[in-house]
Amino acid sequence: MSLQGPGTAAPVAPASPASTTTSSSQPSKTSAASASAAVRGDGTTVASRARRRWRTSRMVVAGLAAALLAGAVLVTLTPTTSTIRFAADNPSPDGGMALAQVLGDQGVRVRPTTSVAEAIGLAGPGTTLLVADDYGMPDDVARSLTGTGAQVVLVAPGPELLAAATDQVTHASRSPDLATPSPARCEDPDAVAAGEVTTAGALLRLADDAQDAQVCFTDASGAGHYAVTTLDDDPDVTVRILDDATGLTNAQVTTAGNAALGLRMLGHEETLVWLVPDRPTAAGEPGGVMAMLPPWAVPLAVQLLLVVIVLALWQGRRLGPLATEDLPVVVRSSETTLGRGRLYRRSRAYGHAGASLRAGAADRIARRLGLPRSSSPDALVDAVCRATSRPWEQVLGLLYGPPPAGDVELTRLATDLDELESEVHRA
């Protein structure tokens, strides 16, 4: 057994590659662990601070997540269809989805819209513009629609729209006979292919000086349900007019030759702009911003309001009994009085200062004279007059007179009230 001195090095066995790798990687793991467990200046670690913040905010995060999930569900479940009569995306019996889908299957690109401005932007040469149920649009708007250069199809047009498109066709003054379908009785290829149609609209009639226009599906008087003419301002634009959309709706499109007429008059071009203008707001219907909101906006707003109420009830502090605590410093009453006086002077609140002086003096005088706090001003003035022998008007002016208007009047009022209190106390 041998002892080694301080300067003698002990033999060290060569380390294996495996042990070398292990020993070299161990310090990095230790340093990472120590870094993650490093204590901050407030005695916490990163992990503890993260856990505390999660505990305090998890309900808020859960509420927001629930609101977002509810909104996503509402958006997902919101139907992409409409309830507008004869709209291309309306699957109800009075909608036009069946006709629009068949046109799409035949290669026609259907562009449904309820905006007149959007329809004018989409329509143009090489397209067909369908305007249905215009509800009596203004004359300038009607002329803008018929001036796009697109082939025009009018379904149940109002007088303004019909007059803006052509002066060769007018509305007839009699109602149609809806008992039996009406045969074509004209040379228009679309009407001949349809054979006969059923409709429920007002009849159309040619003007006395009409040229290059024809009316189809007529009765004995010569009035019919369908007319073909050209645009007054552009003879190259064909105007096809159907007196009513009932025969082209989902419920009636398969009756008689309604489908054939609808497909042929709307399928002349590759693009069809299907315009059903928004109906004007009637009495009792929502208007303004509410009319422009999507149908799921109100339920989503209600759910968000409920979430806010729940969070307010959860986070709100309930009022409990008052707790008496010692003030950190002692504030003398004289300092409080001086401070309030300086505030009154800085804000030039002479009226407030005078009212405070009069209220204090009246309270002290009433207690001195044995009057209750509920005593009327007249009773207090009478008691002061008896105690001091002062005139009634003078006492009333001191205690309930007009407010002072400046420093001089305020100082005089304070002096007079002090003298009055002194007289009462001497009495």
Q: 34-59: per-residue pLDDT in tens? A: 433 444 444 556 777 778 778 877 87
**pLDDT, tens digit, for every residue of 385-405?**
998 889 999 999 999 988 888
**pLDDT, tens digit, for every residue of 192-219?**
999 988 877 778 888 887 788 899 988 8
With a pLDDT cut of 90, the percent of the chain lying above it is: 25
Mean pLDDT over the full length of the chain: 79
Are 203 and 174 within 8 A, CB to CB? yes
SS3 at position 142: helix
Domain identity same for 149 and 184: yes
Are 241 and 154 within 8 A, CB to CB? yes
CA dihedral (25, 28, 29, 30) positive or negative? positive
Domain identity same for 269 and 304: no
CA distance 48 to 32: 17
Residue 28 included in any domain: no
Q: How far is CA 28 from CA 16, 34, 35, 205, 283, in A?
A: 20, 10, 10, 95, 77
Across residues 3-7, what is the average pLDDT? 37
CA distance 123 to 125: 7
Domain identity same for 306 and 418: no
Confidence of residue 292 (pLDDT cuts 50, 70, 90): low
Residue 228's nearest CA partner among 331, 152, 321 is 152
Token pair 């007429």 is found at 261
Model pLDDT, residue 79: 60
Helix (H) / strand (E) containing 272: strand 271-275
What pTM was computed for the model? 0.52
Domain identity same for 144 and 248: yes
Across residues 279-291, what is the average pLDDT? 47
CA distance 138 to 160: 7
For 215-251, the three-class secondary structure string (H helix, E strand, C coil) is EEEECCCCCEEEEEEECCCCCCCEEEEECCCHHHCCC
Residue 63 included in any domain: yes
Report the domain count for the chain.
3
Confidence of residue 32 (pLDDT cuts 50, 70, 90): very low
Domain identity same for 233 and 362: no
Are 110 and 272 within 8 A, CB to CB? yes
SS3 at position 295: coil
Residue 51 included in any domain: no
Q: Which amino acid, one-letter code, is at 385?
A: C
pLDDT-wise least confident of 12-16, 157-161, 231-235, 343-347: 12-16
Domain identity same for 131 and 67: no
Token pair 């503890």 is found at 48
pLDDT at 60 over 70: yes
Domain identity same for 264 and 381: no
Residues paired with residue 131 on neighbouring β-strands, in sequence order: 154, 275
Are 256 and 270 within 8 A, CB to CB? no
pLDDT at 223 over 90: no
Beta-strand pair 196-197/127-132: unpaired
The secondary structure of residue 5, as a DSSP letter, is -
Domain identity same for 70 and 111: no
Domain identity same for 145 and 67: no
Domain identity same for 245 and 371: no
Token pair, residue 78, equals 């919101």
Region label for 256, one of left (φ > 0), alpha (ψ between -120 and 50) or beta (otherwise) = left
Model pLDDT, residue 147: 87
Domain identity same for 221 and 308: no
Q: Which amino acid, one-letter code, is at 94?
A: D
- Ranges of H-type helices in 166-294: 189-194, 258-266, 289-292
pLDDT-wise least confident of 23-32, 167-176, 283-292, 381-390: 23-32
Residue 12 included in any domain: no
Domain identity same for 223 and 372: no
Residue 336 included in any domain: no
Across residues 356-380, what is the average pLDDT? 89
Residue 119 included in any domain: yes
Residue 281 included in any domain: no
Residue 321 included in any domain: no
CA 74 from chain centre, in angstroms, equals 16
Model pLDDT, residue 271: 94
Q: Where in the sequence is the domain holding 195, given as residue range(s)?
A: 96-275
The larger pLDDT score, comparing residue 382 to residue 288, is at 382
The torsion angle over the Cα atoms of residues 287, 289, 291 and 296, rounded to 10 degrees, is -150
**pLDDT, tens digit, for every residue of 100-129?**
999 999 999 999 998 888 999 999 999 999
Helix (H) / strand (E) containing 369: helix 350-369
pLDDT at 7 over 60: no
